[in-house]
Structure 1
């Protein structure tokens, strides 16, 4: 996968050891796991150190139209650091992967690999580390072009890459 100019090498991200099963993550950690070569844990502060310029996101709720000021790292740039467990026998195998974003309270949303890839769907999903001026303990998944905030995941603690089909 292409190296991102906005994120350092994995060795520069202050990756911490993946906790053994049953041991919880710290409140400022995000686990990247699934059908990938190596699981890894990212600390939110390290992610924020590579955040892009702030953007305004707009969406409609049942009661009003809202505008929020967010800053973070594009999801596709973070996932460019991941090595998928590819099946060389399958044509365009990477297109059969989805990203499951899960929150601390178990809310989950699925995005397809093709949807977030900049050369395909380019949906601009963002892992926001700052929301309306407040630095977050864990990032929030923001999908800026959605008209509603249904796919926003607050307090993302796990990104799981899964091959479907």
Structure 2
């Protein structure tokens, strides 16, 4: 049997404490929550409103932009600012998903301090939670994060 060079390589199943980074990246990567927690220096108090009340939580983690800088996206070279055409799809283990633009978390553009939290109110998490501290609601928080898929949006033809 001959495999097409475009066929994706088989990968081992993710462990319960791992996050896959895939898509239009230089090379796929797997983050281990314990490794991420070991370098989690950013601690923040986040406030948001739910349907029922206002909540305040302490989170600690690593900025998402910092993680994506280590496993960078393949940028569209047809644009002088290719990073403005990149989106990040964050998926949870229960199927919840959220889309962010790379520009909104880039310190030179939107500067939203999106965080891969490994601790929530002092408790160590099995998988990180994507925390969006600039949001007034927690709707874009992704608990049990298992995958980050980076996508470069192609320019329109017309």
TM-score, with structure 1 as normaliser: 0.84
Q: Distance in 2 between matches of 1:108 and 1:101?
A: 6
SS at the partner of 1:80? helix
* Unpaired segments ≥5 residues, structure 2: 1-8
Q: Give how far 1:90 is off.
A: 2.3
Q: Give how far 1:140 is off.
A: 0.1
Match of 2:6 in 1: none
Q: More displaced, 23-32 or 127-136?
A: 23-32
Indicate which of 122, 134, 141 corresponds to 1:145: 134
Match of 1:102 in 2: 91
Q: Give how far 1:97 is off.
A: 0.3
Indicate which of 64, 76, 80 corresponds to 2:65: 76
Aligned residues: 146
Matched, 1:45 2:30: no
Q: Is the 8 Å Cα contact of residues 76 and 152 (structure 2) preserved in structure 1?
A: no
Q: Distance in 1 between matches of 2:128 and 2:122?
A: 13
Matched, 1:155 2:144: yes
Q: Give how far 1:86 is off.
A: 2.3
Correspondence 1:23-38 to 2 at 5 A: 23-38=12-27
In the TM superposition, structure 1's runs of 4+ consecutive aligned residues that sit over 3 Å from their partners are none
Larger-Rg structure: 2
Q: Give how far 1:132 is off.
A: 1.0
Q: Distance in 1 between matches of 2:42 and 2:141?
A: 19
Indicate which of 129, 136, 139 corresponds to 2:118: 129
Q: Distance in 2 between matches of 1:90 and 1:56?
A: 37
